[in-house]
Structure 1
């Protein structure tokens, strides 16, 4: 279980304490506040706070008073226009703060998105829990033969069992030594800030991560993509569902233009025009590299 009984009791108490407010409220996000949604084997994502809703995007774009127009279709059209033409500042008017529990190696990949405010659990001050990410058998895969940063065929049989046993054994042994080194039980021991360096990258950490909607969409476009690493993708996919509840009009536009759309180069546009004119275009006559052509064909055939 990703949550202790004490943590769940705190969440239940927070959700039971409703207060009136004059600020913009998203009913969908109110239903999600504080709830811990499990991810992987010990992780979770929960929304701690948020600011703004779909009408806040429209209001900022029009620099108007109060909510958007009385016609939802007008607001939706404007939001889709803003998304379609890559406007950013109206989406920056909405913010959200997440509490995330995740493996350290996922956190180090995640922190590459430098457009958020982050405060992480301190292993200098506190002792980390004995919790490690151990992949499900279906995620134990060999190195891809065509992608230097991807996975290939899933391991099976004795090979899968061998790798899984090493992952579990090394994690437990490292934590045993971590505990043995700490300054506790009457021994002088090692300072926490030093003992932590012995822990593996699959140990779990936690942080508060606050960002605006524009930069959150950028994070989700990259990390919820099918090519993203599975362990960070499952976090992003869950966050997509939370954002869809929070700002449904903005998320629908994002899903259409960013997640479902593609960016085509000038060469790609020219190839499409030539194809529409009846010409049989090949990689050699397209002006594209082999990599560009492969990606083009994946989308347009």
Structure 2
């Protein structure tokens, strides 16, 4: 299950004892505090703490005191300007701390975003639970024939069933051996820091992940993208919903300029200008490689 009884009791206790504060708070994200948002089969994301709001971004940009301008529209306009012109430091004034439960192989992708503070559950000291990520049948795909790091057609029938049987059997067999190695029943038992090497990459781990909004937006731009691996994308999608409630103006600008927008190279911009003048531009006359042209066509439709 996503939360252990002890963790659920902690959540209940924290939500039952609200504290008064003079710092800026956001009702939208307050509703998310401590609550787990289920992801995959055993994972979750939950907000542990946060700092700042849309006004904090504007305050930092103006280096002023208080809430900045009196007009919400003016603040939103400033935030859109900052996003549009790639001004990053004002967004760094907001931070969020998340508790995430995720498969180890997803964590290894996630940790490449090195601009965060991370503290992971230690299998040197503690025993990992028997919880593994097993894909749903509609997420079992063959290797893509056009993308070395992507998925292709869905596996079906006997092949899909065989793959699921292998994943379940191997995961449980590895965990059985893990328990046998660390057991001190009639033996000394192997050290936990060594026994963990035999565990599969689909076992679940947990960590606290603290990041500022600028670097969180970078994470979401890459991991909430349709081309990102499904197993990390669903975590990014869950986080994005929280961020939209936390800093709605900043998230709106991010959606518009980063997620919904596109960046063109100098060659791409030149091709657009030529097309607007009525010229028939092809890959051969564009100066782009086949891969660049294919991506360019995807942008301009």
Deviation by residue 1:149-190 (Cα, 9 ceiling, x = unmatched): 000000000000000000000000000000000042342110
Residue 244 (1) aligns with residue 240 (2): no
Instruction: Kindly state the Cα deviation for residue 124 of structure 1 after the two structures are TM-superposed.
Output: 0.2
SS at match of 1:86: coil
Q: Check the 8 A contact 1:183/1:191 in 2, yes or no.
A: no
CA distance in 1, matches of 2:20, 2:70: 23
TM-score in terms of structure 2 length: 0.99
Query: Equivalent residue for 1:102?
Result: 102
Question: 2-side partners of 1:252 and 1:184: how far apart?
Answer: 55
CA displacement at 1:211 relative to structure 2 = 0.5
Q: Determine helix, strand or coil for the equivalent of 1:285.
A: helix
Once the two structures are superposed, the pairs formed by residues 10-159 of structure 1 within 5 Å of their partners are 10-159=10-159
Checking the alignment, whether the CA contact within 8 Å between 1:51 and 1:96 is kept in structure 2 is: yes
For the residues of structure 2 that align with 1:12 and 1:299, how far apart are their CA atoms? 47
Q: Is the 8 A contact 1:92 1:214 kept in 2?
A: yes
What's 1:218 paired with?
218
Task: Give, in whole Å, the separation in 2 of the partners of 1:186 and 1:126.
Answer: 21
Q: Distance in 1 between matches of 2:287 and 2:188?
A: 68
> How big is the shift at 1:205?
0.2
Q: Deviations over 1:221-275 (max 9, x none)?
A: 0000000000000000010000000000000000000000001000000000000
SS of the equivalent of 2:206 reads: strand
SS of 2:50's equivalent in the other structure is strand
What CA distance in whole angstroms lies between the structure 1 residues aligned with 2:119 and 2:144? 34
Q: Unaligned stretches of 5+ in structure 1?
A: none
Provide the C-alpha distance between the structure 2 equivalents of 1:210 and 1:53, rounded to a whole number of angstroms.
16
Contact 1:113–1:219 (CA under 8 A) maintained in structure 2: yes
Query: Using the alignment, how far apart are the partners of 2:29 and 2:162 within structure 1?
Result: 44
Give the distance between the partners of 2:135 and 2:68, measured in 1 at CA.
46
Unaligned runs of 5+ in 2: none
Counterpart residue number, 2:262: 262
- Give me the whole-angstrom Cα distance separating, in 2, the residues matched to 1:184 and 1:205: 24
